[in-house]
Amino acid sequence: MSILARVCAFVLMFMLPVSAFAEQSKDYELSPWTTGIGAGAMFFEGDEEFNSTFITDLKFGYDVNENVTVETGLGWMPFLDAKSWTENDPETWHLDDSQGFRGSLDGMYHFGERGSIRPHVAVTGGATYFSNNLRDQEHWVPFAGLGGGVTFPIDDRLSARADYRALYTFDRDEFNHLAMVSVLYRLAFGDKSSSGATMAQEESYGAVDMPVEQSEEGLQTIYFAFDKALLTGSAKAALDSNARFLQENPDMSIVIEGHCDERGTTEYNLALGERRARAAYDYLRSLGIASSRMSTVSYGEEQPVDPRSNEAAWAKNRRVVCVER
């Protein structure tokens, strides 16, 4: 079986169960921890003993902030074929029955916002262990390199990522170049605790139970769950009402303001407020409100309606307000 066929079979086998798990679990508040599994190809060049081969990869990562991820990985190369194996050279016989195990640590910088297609650049380092000793009697080969890739969101928890890494081994007299390409499914897991609040407490102050507030212009305020930009049923009902009001007042234009509670950094909350405002904007557009009548702005945590530091106040501050411009 070719390397490409092995990669495709692995991806198809893995995609269905992981997608189903993510669909069942997507309502959880997410922690910065992630796990992932993928497959790809390792291309050996120069004086390396093996032909290009299939590799699987298991990943664990931590999102340091909106843009930076640190990720560790364990790769397995089960089908190593010796590049120079011959029946007449006993020193090469064992190489054709080898496996490789690869440990890595990556640092990645992602461009763009979460929930969108995001390219990234990466630095990587680690070591590969070969089950049979190489020509120089070594089992361990350290490496370092650079790379990049792109992440494609599937839902709140699950994303697909394509990676390329240019690697260099440096345990011998000269550098050898390797390259790895892979496709990875990445899953965010666990719940996010904040200020000792449990998930049940967060949900009890979520968007669903907030009372509807209506401005003097007849436009309703929309509320969100903690660290979320997803529209709940009550938020969509409020936006349905706002769309009807705008249709009854065709000369009115609005600014859609995104707001957050005080938890999180200023930069993170500005981005979250913009995603909330954009979610409302896109929903109103789907109801037939012209984009020329709407604009968005994020105030992050800077304009709370309730300045207290408790769950009830935070629930009021996680909102989108539509105001006439």
The residue-averaged pLDDT of 168-174 equals 68
pLDDT in tens, 212-232: 555 546 899 999 998 899 998
pLDDT class for 17, splitting at 50, 70, 90? very low
Q: What angle do CA 276, 280, 282 make, to 5 degrees?
A: 115
pLDDT class for 286, splitting at 50, 70, 90? very high
The pair of structure tokens assigned to 203 is 């949900």
Distance of alpha carbon 113 from alpha carbon 276, whole angstroms: 12
Helix boundaries (H) for 148-297 = 199-204, 233-248, 266-286
Top-confidence range, 23-37, 95-109, 173-187, 296-310: 296-310
The residue-averaged pLDDT of 64-76 equals 91
**Strand order from edge to edge, sheet including 294-300:** 222-223, 319-324, 254-259, 294-300
Q: Where are the domains of the chain?
A: 3-188, 205-324
CATH architecture of the domain 205-324 equals 2-Layer Sandwich (3.30)
Ramachandran category for residue 234: left, alpha or beta (phi over 0 → left; psi -120 to 50 → alpha): alpha
| Least reliable range by pLDDT among 92-101, 114-123, 134-143, 256-265 | 92-101
| CATH 3.90.870.40 at 3-188, yes or no | no
- Give this prediction's pTM: 0.53
